[in-house]
Amino acid sequence: MDLLLDTCAFIWLCSEPEKYSDEAGELINQAGDLFLSDASILEMAIKNAAGKLSLPDVPCRWINEQVGVWGVITLPLSHDDIFLSTELPLHHKDPFDRLIISTAVNRGLTILTSDSVFSSYDVQLMSVL
């Protein structure tokens, strides 16, 4: 099974893997490919610049390094991802999460997340908790 990591799942994987449940850790080890949406990269960069997220290094260096360490494949946002994110029901108003959900839907990926609101959408999920 291929997994799309939501932003928090990526940060935990890289910085605090002990937050993962045993089941989630096993799932990551057995996953086909791990993916990260450009929406997550944008979210981390913006939150770091605003002082809402503290990364161990500047985003361009830390994110690129961690993507390489963990063998994560980054997914560029397509127009279809952007359009679908605006058409989803408004269960979740966070634009980054809506883009992550639409990316998973459009590519048939399972999202690894700790965000319970994701379950309001018709998307495959696995919890990190």
For position 45, which CATH number holds? 3.40.50.1010
The Cα-based distances of 73 to 5, 31, 57, 85, 86 in angstroms read 10, 13, 20, 21, 25
For the stretch 18-33, pLDDT in tens is 888 888 888 888 889 9
Q: What is the pLDDT of residue 57?
A: 94
Residues forming beta bridges with residue 110, ordered by sequence position: 3
Q: What pLDDT score does 127 carry?
A: 85
Q: Are 118 and 125 in contact (CB under 8 A)?
A: yes
In a domain, 126, yes or no: no
Domain with 69 in it? 3-113
- In this prediction, residue 14 carries a pLDDT of 93
pLDDT in tens, the chain (129 residues): 899 999 999 999 999 888 888 888 888 888 899 999 999 999 999 999 999 999 999 999 999 999 999 999 999 999 999 999 999 999 888 999 999 999 999 999 999 998 989 999 999 998 887
Residue 129, domain member (yes or no): no
User: In whole angstroms, what is the distance from residue 21 CA to residue 111 CA?
Assistant: 15
The pLDDT score that the predictor gives to residue 19 is 83
- What is the C-alpha to C-alpha distance for residues 123 and 109, in angstroms, rounded to an integer? 8
Query: What is the count of structural domains for the chain?
Result: 1
Write down the pLDDT at residue 77.
97
